[in-house]
Amino acid sequence: MDGATAGYIHRKDDYLKRLRRIEGQARGLQRMVEEEQYCIDVLTQVSAMTKALQSVALGLLEEHMSHCLVQAAAAGGSEAERKVKEASEAIARLVRS
């Protein structure tokens, strides 16, 4: 973070709440497998959890772009170039996932 404040800090509690919910979904999935639930039901829950994680990722990316990237662009120079490259790589990882 380079000593800067995280762009998502004003929504930190929201993100933590969502991540705790996802953690609960993961435990639920484990339970479903332990109980040998129907495959399609397990897959449905995997899909729901995946969408929840993607939602968190997109929110964090938006926060990063509107805070960290904008500040770096205003400052210019190599820091701006580094932040743009960093954001592009994060987007590529999300698209591949």
The 8-class DSSP code of residue 11 comes to G
**Are the beta carbons of 8 and 42 closer than 8 angstroms?**
no
59's CB contacts (< 8 A; 6+ apart) are 8, 11, 15
In the block, residue with structure tokens 């190599």:
78
What pTM does this model have? 0.81
Q: Does residue 1 surpass a pLDDT of 60? A: no
All structural domains of the chain, each given as residue ranges with its CATH number in brackets, are 9-96 (1.20.58.1000)
At 2 the pLDDT is: 52
pLDDT of res. 4: 62
* 23-50 average pLDDT score: 97
Smallest CA-to-CA distance from 2 within 75, 88, 89 is with 75
> With 80 as the cut, is the pLDDT of residue 41 above it?
yes
pLDDT digits (tens, 9 = 90+) for 27-36: 999 999 999 9
What digits encode the pLDDT tens for the residues 47-60? 999 999 999 999 99
